């Protein structure tokens, strides 16, 4: 069992943060950000499945699928284009799409006609991570362009801005951090000035305790880690990195442990369930990243489990914390509206027989006596006790909602 080391922030990063205006963790973000992302954003993003190959047709097909397969009704709203839609700037600096996206306005209209919203991607640097045109020096122009198309969400990915930071403040990490924060603040201001509600998603891989300052510059969500990939090890590593971040999340501003890989790669059904369950426990954005028109019914049923989605979307917006770990089993709890409690018991062990049966300690969760709840994957009523062992296969999860826990 590998336990996460406590998150340690680089001294330099802390110095940068100290130099920047500091909100307390729970300071309410300014009024305009209150209008979007009151619960973690739900939708789909093109990157995890299509990577650089995504086309306008693929995005339309994703919207079609989402609108007709039950996902929209389950709460999925944003259809987000990731990197590689960008073309060249014209003589006036106006950015155009490339040939994979012949008509962005038409695409936005199409997505909106399905009752969905459209997201886009850029970088504060001159180039995006895939080497396409970024927004550096054109922030307001790009924000205005997005608004004119009808864009509802922007993922803003650091990428080549790192070079600008290094150039502007060589050998001065603290100044580099201030430069980075200023770049994100600049785009937030540009987006706000369009008057269009646009979710602002920060992507800089969790550097420099982004959770400390992102809400104060209008960030609705911020990546807490490097990129996810569709393997259990990566999903587990990311999960471990989330310990300690719960207090930074709340309505309008969320930790983002990256987009979902449910249905991608060779993840087993148990791994897909556990990944989805834990992202819901973490109040993470639920952005599916798979091939929506061609997924299996089993993957669809995981992505549209209403009870699990309700955990993610709980209005209190309180992210789960890890209550304890015992052997290869981790127990996480999340406080929900109306005094309810979600309990996740996760077998992170890779040996099928390593750690089951598992005896839950209710005392370690601060609970007294048997607890009645619903198993959100079987839909059955269950009673959690100290002495009835829980059978959990490798990488599988028991997720229970206890409506009236007894403490
Ligand atoms: C970075 C991001 C990914 C994706 C790619 C696109 O790696 O972290 O989520 O947006 O860039 O180039």
Separation in Å, CA 109 to CA 60, 102, 200, 288, 367: 11, 13, 20, 22, 51
Radius of gyration of the chain (CA): 21
In this prediction, residue 407 has a pLDDT band, given cuts at 50, 70 and 90, of very high
Q: Report the distance separating Cα 407 and Cα 391, nearest Å.
A: 25
Segment 215-221 mean pLDDT: 97
Q: What pLDDT sits at residue 352?
A: 66
Domains of the chain: 10-312 (3.20.20.70), 321-402 (2.60.40.1180)
Instruction: Please state the length of the chain.
Output: 407
CB 235 within 8 A of CB 271: yes
Q: What pLDDT sits at residue 23?
A: 41
Best substitution site from 227, 228, 230, 258 to test ligand 1's pocket, by max atoms within 8 Å of Cβ? 227
CB-based contacts of 282: which residues, under 8 Å, 6+ apart? 239, 242, 249, 255, 257, 319, 320
Could you read off the pLDDT of 160-208 as tens digits, one per residue? 999 999 999 999 999 999 999 999 999 999 999 999 999 999 999 999 9
Nearest atom of ligand 1 to the alpha carbon of 82 = 10
132 lines ligand 1 (CB under 6 A): no
In this prediction, residue 94 has a pLDDT band, given cuts at 50, 70 and 90, of very high
CB 213 within 8 A of CB 184: no
CB 265 within 8 A of CB 278: no
328 lines ligand 1 (CB under 6 A): no
**Rounded to the nearest whole angstrom, what is the distance from the C-alpha of residue 157 to the centroid of ligand 1?**
7
Q: What pLDDT sits at residue 356?
A: 65
pLDDT at 34 > cutoff 50: no
pLDDT at 28 > cutoff 70: no
Percentage of the chain beyond pLDDT 70 is 90
CB 123 within 8 A of CB 157: yes
pTM of the entire predicted model = 0.92
Q: Which of 58, 82, 142, 157 is catalytic?
A: 157
CB 332 within 8 A of CB 347: no
* DSSP string for 273-336: HHHHHHHHHTT--EEE-S-GGG--HHHHHHHT-HHHHHHHT-TT-PPPEEEEEETTEEEEEEE-
Residue owning the nearest CA to atom 11 of ligand 1 = 129
Q: Which of 154, 192, 150, 194 is nearest to 45 (CA)?
A: 154
Q: Report the distance separating Cα 69 and Cα 292, nearest Å.
A: 9
207 lines ligand 1 (CB under 6 A): no
Q: Which of 64, 144, 172, 227 is catalytic?
A: 227
CB 136 within 8 A of CB 124: yes
Could you read off the pLDDT of 127-157 as tens digits, one per residue? 999 999 999 999 999 999 999 999 999 999 9
Task: Enter the tokens of residue 191.
Answer: 């987006």
**Rounded to the nearest whole angstrom, what is the distance from the C-alpha of residue 223 to the centroid of ligand 1?**
11
pLDDT at 227 > cutoff 70: yes
Q: Would you tell me how many other CB atoms lie within 10 Å of the CB of residue 88?
A: 11
């Amino acid at each position: 069992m590998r336990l996460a080391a406590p998150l340690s922030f680089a001294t330099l990063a802390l110095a940068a943060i100290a130099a920047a205006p500091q909100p307390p963790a729970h300071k309410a973000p300014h009024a305009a950000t209150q209008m979007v992302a009151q619960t973690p954003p739900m939708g789909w993003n093109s990157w995890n499945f299509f990577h650089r190959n995504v086309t306008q047709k693929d995005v339309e097909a994703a919207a079609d699928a989402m609108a007709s397969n039950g996902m929209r009704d389950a709460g999925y709203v944003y259809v987000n284009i990731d990197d590689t839609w960008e073309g060249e700037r014209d003589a006036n600096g106006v950015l155009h799409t490339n040939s994979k996206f012949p008509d962005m306005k038409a695409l936005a209209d199409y997505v909106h006609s399905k009752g969905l919203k459209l997201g886009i991607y850029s970088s504060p640097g001159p180039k995006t991570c895939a080497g396409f045109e970024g927004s550096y020096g054109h922030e307001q122009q790009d924000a205005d362009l997005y608004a004119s198309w009808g864009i509802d969400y922007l993922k803003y990915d650091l990428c080549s801005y790192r070079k600008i930071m290094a150039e502007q403040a060589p050998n001065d990490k603290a100044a580099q951090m201030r430069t980075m924060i200023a770049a994100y603040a600049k785009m937030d201001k540009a987006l706000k000035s369009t008057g269009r509600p646009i979710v602002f998603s920060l992507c800089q891989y969790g550097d420099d305790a982004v959770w400390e300052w992102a809400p104060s510059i209008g960030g609705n969500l911020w990546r807490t880690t490097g990129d996810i990939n569709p393997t259990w090890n990566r999903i587990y590593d990311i999960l471990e990195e989330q310990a300690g971040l719960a207090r930074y999340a709340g309505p309008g501003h969320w930790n983002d442990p990256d987009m979902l890989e449910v249905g991608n790669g060779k993840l087993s059904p148990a791994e897909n369930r556990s990944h989805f369950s834990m992202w819901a426990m973490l109040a993470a954005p639920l952005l599916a990243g798979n091939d929506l028109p061609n997924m299996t019914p089993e993957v669809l049923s995981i992505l549209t489990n209403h009870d699990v989605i309700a955990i993610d979307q709980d209005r209190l917006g309180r992210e789960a914390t890890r209550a304890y770990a015992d052997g290869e089993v981790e127990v996480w709890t999340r406080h929900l509206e109306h005094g309810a409690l979600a309990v996740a018991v996760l077998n992170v062990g890779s040996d099928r027989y390593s750690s089951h049966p598992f005896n839950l300690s209710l005392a370690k969760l601060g609970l007294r006596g048997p607890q009645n709840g619903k198993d959100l994957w079987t839909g059955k009523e269950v009673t959690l006790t100290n002495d009835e062992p829980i059978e959990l296969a490798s990488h599988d999860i028991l997720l229970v909602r206890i409506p009236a826990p007894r403490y």
